Amino acid sequence: MKRVGMLTRKGAQAYATVGLETAVMGASPHQLIVLLYDGLEKALNRALWALDEGKVAERGMAISKAITILDNGLDAALDMEKGGELSENLHNLYGYMSRTLLKANIKVDRNSIEHVADMVNDIATAWRSIGDNGKGLS
């Protein structure tokens, strides 16, 4: 029975990966940013859950994933030339969030993780409300 459960999990993971890849391939630039925010919010929620459960390794992995999304996803997507002051402000904010999460992981600081999660929620909500009409805003 254990083997069947493992195969089912692997199948579900493969299905999720294909679903994500399909969503990414058909997404507009705006939708890609929304997907990054979705992933960031999930990673932060996972980090908070792991912190509450005392799961140190999972907390570290979730925070690492959040930092990767911030640095290699959202920040890397900024067009500093076209985005001007808005891109510069987002660049600085993403850097602040990454540093805050790194310190929060070291100090096991729930309030700092929640602080970043609140900021991310505010930005993600605003980004989602723009819709695809906001092309080129980053």
3 state SS for 85-117: HHHHHHHHHHHHHHHHHHHHHHHCCHHHHHHHH
CA–CA distance, 130 with 34 (Å, rounded to integer):
10
Domains of the chain, each with CATH number or no CATH: 29-133 (1.20.120.340)
CA–CA distance, 61 with 80 (Å, rounded to integer):
29
pLDDT of residue 10: 44
pLDDT of residue 12: 39
Q: What are the C-alpha distances in Å from 17 to residues 4, 20, 26, 101? A: 20, 5, 14, 26
pLDDT of residue 21: 52
pLDDT of residue 133: 58
Q: CA Rg, the chain, in Å?
A: 17
CA–CA distance, 132 with 83 (Å, rounded to integer):
16
> What are the per-10-residue average pLDDT scores of the chain (138 residues)?
45 43 67 93 98 97 97 93 93 98 97 98 92 54
CA–CA distance, 121 with 1 (Å, rounded to integer):
41
